[in-house]
Amino acid sequence: MKALSTAATGMLAQQLNIDVISNNIANMNTTGFKRGRAEFQDLLYQNIERVGANSSDAGTVVPSGIQVGVGVRTAGVYRITDQGSLQNTGNMFDIAINGRGFFHIQLPDGQDAYTRAGSFQIDQNGQLVTPEGYAVQPAINIPQDAIDVTINEQGEVAVKQDGQTNPAVVGTLELAIFPNEVGLEAIGGNLYLESQASGAAVPSSPGQPGYGTVFQGFLEQSNVNAVGEITSMISAQRAYELNSKVIQTADEMLQAANNLR
């Protein structure tokens, strides 16, 4: 009786579904977080009577056949890259991306990483870094005597120093886009790595065709929708319960067969 193993695959699938939903809910307030969605596929079918097979010597064929499915499997966890809302923080080093693109970050081992979380700070040398101290690329250095820092929508960083009338541009932020953003490898810490699935990073200045713009004093919020996640969680819970009921029913049927006299 295949119902036992078939329902077991359904329960395992819904367990993973709940894992993805719980991660979404846990990151409702994570800057720049993109929610995930579990996707499933049916497993191979057992052909008891193959569709289209000849049913007689006269050339008649089986119109539908008998195919019995053996369950479900996880096809992948798809990352939804919808734009999150922008929250005004008032911090001059908070930078939000409105549109496509990722900030380029250099990890301590020299590896390139990418992020949508623009909650930057400056280190002891005046360089723009992430909260972990990872340098933003290209390097932006803020003079120690700067009294004001302005970042326009095209990513130009201008500082006003004491005694100067006009601000001086000290660098320009860059954004990187990918042929397939969903293919980026998440490593935690709001960081992603380039992968073969994502394609190579294509850097350019904010505001160029196909690239988003940046807003100083704002942060992009998570794109998790609480109501949608709760609805999905209830649906997954009901599906899990139904699959467990199938196992219980199959067990009772096998027990009845075993008790035949």
Task: Look at residue 15 and give its three-state secondary structure.
Answer: helix
What's 127's DSSP letter? B
How far are the Cα atoms of 42, 79, 226, 233, 242 from residue 237, in angstroms, in the given order?
19, 22, 16, 6, 9
- pLDDT (0 to 100) of residue 206: 96
User: pTM for this one?
Assistant: 0.87
- pLDDT (0 to 100) of residue 121: 94
Rounded Cα distance, 191 and 132, in Å: 11
Rounded Cα distance, 118 and 31, in Å: 8
Phi, psi of 108, rounded to the nearest 5 degrees: -60, -30
CB atoms within 10 A of CB 32: 21
- Are the C-beta atoms of 229 and 21 separated by less than 8 Å? yes
- pLDDT (0 to 100) of residue 77: 94
- pLDDT (0 to 100) of residue 166: 87
Phi, psi of 117, rounded to the nearest 5 degrees: -85, 110
N residues, the chain: 261
Mean pLDDT of each 10-residue bin along the chain, 261 residues long: 91 96 96 96 86 80 85 94 94 95 96 96 94 95 91 94 86 96 94 96 95 96 96 96 95 88 72
- pLDDT (0 to 100) of residue 162: 82
